Chain A
Amino acid sequence: MEEYLKIEREKEWRVELRTKLKNKERTTIERVQMPGLDPIERIQYQDREVNLGLDEASAITEASRCMDCVNPTCIEGCPVSINIPKFIKNIERGEMHEAAKTLKETSALPAVCGRVCPQEKQCEAQCFYTLKLKKEPVAIGYLERFAADFEQNSGSISVPETAEKNNIKVAAIGSGPASLSFAGDMAKLGYDVTVFEALHEVGGVLKYGIPEFRLPNRVVDVELASLEKMGVKFERNFIVGRTASFDDLKEEGFHAFFVASGAGLPRFMNIPGENFNGILSSNEYLTRVNLMNAAKSEFDTPVLRGKNIAVIGGGNTAMDSVRTAKRLGAERAMIVYRRSREEMPARVEEVLHAEEEGIEFLNLNNPIEYFADENGRVNRMRLQKMELGEPDASGRRRPVVVEGSEYDIPVDVVVVAIGVSPNPLVPSELPELKVSRWGTIEVDPETMQSSIPDLFAGGDIVRGGATVILAMGDGRKAAAGMHQYLQTKQNNLVSEPSAIKNAD
C-alpha cells in the first residue's frame, strides 16, 4: 500500500505539479466556501439540495491548497483509504475524469460520500492543515463531490469493466450502500448478482432516510443505473424471509448471500406517554416524507405536520428530521438532545445548516414524559435539564441530571431519533446465525463471513449504526471474502460431479 502510494506520488505529472506552486503560496490560499441556497428560500422546499457544489475554477484553486504530502495522513482518516492526494492533484491539473476514476478505485459511491461522509471526523481531521498548521483543512469532501458530479454531469460515466460471466448466482439482501458496493464488486468479478429489496424503491437509507435536500435521488439513481449496466438485477418489494426464504433462494440456485438489511427497527425511550398520537420514530417520519410523498399537500397527513415539533436526538437522523419538519411548515422546530453541541454525533455541516434554518437547539435537555389532549394527541412534553459530568468510556462528557429542573413545553409532533436496532427478520429466520446481544450479526472482520459459511454480512446489520462509507467498505470486503470462499469451495469440488458451476 505504502509502496503503491509512493510510486503514484513519484509519477512525473505529480512531481511537476508540486513545483508549480510553493507550499507557502499554497498555504496562504483561503479554504473555499461551499455555495448554497439561501436559508429563507431553501426551507420552502424539501427537494432542493442545499449545497450547490463547487465550480471548476474554485475546485482547482481548492485542490491547489493540497501540498501532496510525502506522508498523506488524510488517507489514514478514510475508512476505505481513498488515494486522496492523487484525486485532488488530478483536479488541480484539470483531469476531472481521472480524479473520478481515482475515487472509484476504492469507493463505489463517491458522489454520495462527497455529500454525506463526516469528513470533519475522518480525512479532514487528519489533513496536514488541521494537524500541523492549525488551519482549515483542504475541503476534501467538497472536492470529492466535485469530481464525482463532474463525471455524472459529463454524461460519459465509465461503467467498470466486468469479467466474463461465471454464471454463479449470489444474492444481496437489502439495497443500501453496503449491498450496492458488494454488487458492484461481484459483478466486476463476473458473478450473477441479484439485489433483493423489501421496499419499492432501491437505495436503502440513501433513498428513504437521507432527504433530498442533502442527497438528491438522482445522484443515487446514476449509481444504480451504472450497476444495472453491469448486469446487477434488482428485485423490489421482495422481503427475504417473507416473500421467499433462504432455502427457497438456495433452491433457485443462489450459492451465497450477503446480508445488508440495515438497522431499520426504530427505538423509543419507553417513557410515560410515548404512545400518544403525534409521537413517531424518525424512521417512520422520514420514510413517509421521502418515499410516500407525504410532503406534497395532496398526500397531506396531519400526523406529520405540526406547529411545535420536537425531535429527540443529536445525530444525522435527528438533523434530517428536524430540518424536514421546518420544511413541512413547523413554526418551532426543535432539537432536544441530552448532551451538548460538542458531543453531537451529527455532521458539523448539518448542525450549521440547521442553525441557519432557524432550528432551535434545546441541548442538555432530556424528555421524561409526554402529555396529551382529550383526543390522545400529544400536546405537551416534560423536559429535564442535564449538565455535563466526567468523561464516559467513549471519551465524551457524560450527561448528569440537574435535580428539580423539570419544565414543560407545548408540542404537537414529536419525532424520536435516538437510534435504530438491526432489522430482526433475517437473524430470526436463521437460528444458527450468531448474533450479538444487540441483534447485530457477528462476522469475521476481514472477510465479513458469518457463522453460516455461505452467508456474509455488512453495514448497519453488523455495526448497529454506522456511516455510508463504512457500510460501503463492508460490502467491498464481503465481496472479496465471498469470492475467495466460493473459489475455494469450487476448487474442492472440481473432482465431484456436481461442481458449483453446474449447480443450476
Chain B
Amino acid sequence: MANLATQFFGLELKSPVIAASCSMTGDLEQIKKLAKAGAGAIVLKSLYEEEIDTQLQEELSQRKALEPDPEYLDYFDYIIKDENLKDYTGLIRQAKQAVEVPIVASVSCISQSDWVLFSKKLEEAGVDALELNLFLLPANLEKSGEANEQFYFNTVKKVLEVVSIPVTIKISHYFSNLAAMIKALSETGIAGISLFNRFYSPDIDIQNEKMISADVLSHASDYLLPLRWTGILSSQTSCPLAATGGIHSAETAIKFLLAGASAVQVASVLYNGGTEAIAGMNQEIATWMDAKGYDKIDDFKGKLAIRDKHVALYERAQFMKYFTQKDF
C-alpha cells in the first residue's frame, strides 16, 4: 500500500491528514479516537488569552453579590490564567501519555508577554510542536497595515527566542500583499505555515432583524481560497505549508497535496463524519495513490504547484469571458 508519510510541524507524520485545532481536540477521549483513526498529528484546541479574560470578567461579575473584597477580585487576575494554563498543560501531559501521534499545542494571545509565557509553559509540558494561532482582525482604523504586519513578525520572533521545539503559524488571508507577507514569514525560522484559519463570522437573520452567528462549520467549496494560495506559494516559501478550510474529502486533500501542501488540517469533517472521517480519508488517499502508481507523497506533492505554466491559472481572478467555457 502507498506510504502516506509526510513532514510538517518539523516532525515526521504518518499521514498528511491532521486533526485541526477545534473543541474536539480539547478533549482527551476524542484525542484518543483521533489517534486511533490515524490522524497524522493532533493540534489541541487553542489556549486563548482572550478567553481567559472573558472568564475573568464572568467571574468578576458573579462575585458582586458576595460583597467582595477587591483583594479577592485581584486574585482572579492571576489565578484564572494560572488555572487555565494548568488545565492545558495537564491535557498535554495526558495526551502525550495516551497516544503516540504527535501532539501540537495551539496558542493565541494578545500581549507579547503572554505569547512568551504560554509558549514556554506548553513546551515545558512536553508538547511536540507549537502552532501560533495568529490573528488580528484588521478593523482598527487608527492602525496602519504595516503596524499590523509587525505584530506577526514580533510575535514569531519572541516565541522563537524562548522555545526550542518547532513552531508553526496559522494565519488568515487578511493581508494587503498576501504572497509577500507569507514569503517573509516563512523566512523567520518557523517550521511551517497553515493557510487559512477559519473564524467565527457574524451573519444577519432578516426575519428577526438580528445579528446571529454564521455557520460554524465550513462548506465543501470553501477550499478554493486556500487552494489558490497554496498553489501560488508552496514552491516559493522557505518552509512547508499546510492547508485548512473546507477540506471535507480525500479528493480535496489530494488537490492540496498536488498544489504543494505538505499536509491538510481538518475540523468540520470531524463534526460531520466523526473522528472516523480521518481513517476514511487516509484510505481513499492511499487507494488513489495506488491507482496512480505513487508510492509516497513526495512522488506527486507539488506537481501542480505554480510553475511558469501554471502562473496564469493560479493568478487569474476576474471572470472574464475568455476563461470560462460557458456563457454566464
Contact = CB atoms under 8 A, between A and B. Distances in A.
Interface string B66-105: 1111111111011100100110000000000000000000
A267 B79 contact: yes
B57 A419 contact: no
B74 A345 contact: yes
A271 B72 CA distance: 20
Interface residues of A, number: 43
A272 B120 contact: yes
Contacts of A315: 69-71, 74
Interface stretch (A50-58, A168-176, A355-363, A389-397): A389-397
A394 B63 contact: yes
B188 interface: no
Given A267-B82, A269-B78, A396 B70 contact: yes
B213 interface: no
A267 B120 CA distance: 20
* Highest count of chain B CB atoms <10 Å: which of A315, A344, A368, A464: A464
A24 B116 CA distance: 62
Contacts of B56: 392-393
Contact of B74 (A314, A400, A403): A314
Contacts of B58: 393
A79 interface: yes
Contacts of B69: 118, 315, 345, 463, 465-467, 470
Interface in A388-443: 392-394, 396, 399-401, 403-404, 406, 418-421, 438
A49 B58 CA distance: 40
B30 interface: no
A420 to B, nearest CB: 8
B111 interface: yes
Contacts of B217: none
A345 B68 CA distance: 11
Contact of B117 (A272, A392, A394): A272
B140 interface: no
A283 interface: no
A464 B86 CA distance: 20
Nearest to A267: B79
A488 interface: no
Contacts of B74: 313-315, 339, 345, 418-419
Nearest to B86: A270
Interface in B24-66: 56-58, 60-61, 63-64, 66
Given A267-B75, A394-B60, A384 B113 contact: yes
Contacts of A392: 56-57, 60
Contacts of A418: 74-75, 77-79
Contacts of B60: 392-394
A338 B71 contact: no
A38 interface: no
Given A267-B79, A393-B60, A394-B60, A465 B71 contact: yes
Contact of B67 (A79, A268, A406, A421): A79
Nearest to A463: B66
Contacts of A368: 113, 116-117
A87 B277 CA distance: 76
Nearest to B77: A338
A90 interface: no
B112 interface: yes
A316 interface: yes
Interface in A149-185: none
B112 A401 contact: yes
A245 to B, nearest CB: 29
A317 interface: yes
Nearest to A464: B72
A316 to B, nearest CB: 6
Nearest to A271: B117
A319 B69 CA distance: 15
A401 B112 CA distance: 8
Contacts of A438: 79
B78 A267 contact: yes
A343 interface: yes
Contacts of A366: 113
Q: How large is the interface on B (under 10, 10 to 19, 20 to 34, 35 or more residues)?
A: 20 to 34
Nearest to A270: B82
Interface in A232-278: 267-272
Interface in A458-476: 463-467, 470
Given A267-B78, A345-B71, A368-B113, A393 B85 contact: no
A392 B60 CA distance: 8
A465 B85 contact: no
A235 B309 CA distance: 89
Contacts of B70: 315, 343-345, 394, 396
Contacts of A396: 70, 73
A404 B77 CA distance: 21
Contacts of A345: 69-71, 73-74
Given A79-B67, A466-B69, A403 B75 contact: no
A28 B78 CA distance: 46
A465 B111 contact: no
Interface in B104-137: 110-114, 116-117, 120-121
* Highest count of chain A CB atoms <10 Å: which of B58, B60, B86: B60
B63 A465 contact: no
B78 A401 contact: no
A138 B244 CA distance: 67
B72 A419 contact: yes
Contact of A403 (B66, B71, B112, B117): B112
A394 B80 CA distance: 15
A125 to B, nearest CB: 13
Interface string A332-363: 00000011000111100000000000000000
B113 A466 contact: no
Nearest to A312: B78
Nearest to A394: B60
A464 B75 contact: yes
A14 B213 CA distance: 65
A205 B116 CA distance: 37
A338 B81 CA distance: 15
A154 B72 CA distance: 38
B184 to A, nearest CB: 21
Contacts of A267: 75, 78-79, 82
Contact of A419 (B75, B116, B121): B75
Nearest to A316: B71
A267 B112 CA distance: 24
Contacts of A316: 71
A272 B119 CA distance: 11
A403 B111 contact: yes
Contacts of B66: 463
A316 B72 CA distance: 11
Listed from nearest, the 6 A-B pairs whose CB atoms lie closest are A419-B75, A315-B71, A345-B70, A401-B111, A393-B60, A345-B71
Given A79-B67, A315-B69, A316-B71, 8 more contacts: A272-B120, A339-B74, A345-B69, A384-B113, A393-B61, A418-B74, A464-B72, A465-B69
18 contacts: A271-B117, A272-B117, A313-B74, A315-B74, A316-B71, A338-B77, A368-B116, A392-B60, A393-B60, A393-B61, A394-B61, A396-B70, A401-B110, A401-B113, A403-B112, A420-B75, A466-B67, A467-B69
Interface of B: 56-58, 60-61, 63-64, 66-75, 77-79, 82, 85-86, 110-114, 116-117, 120-121
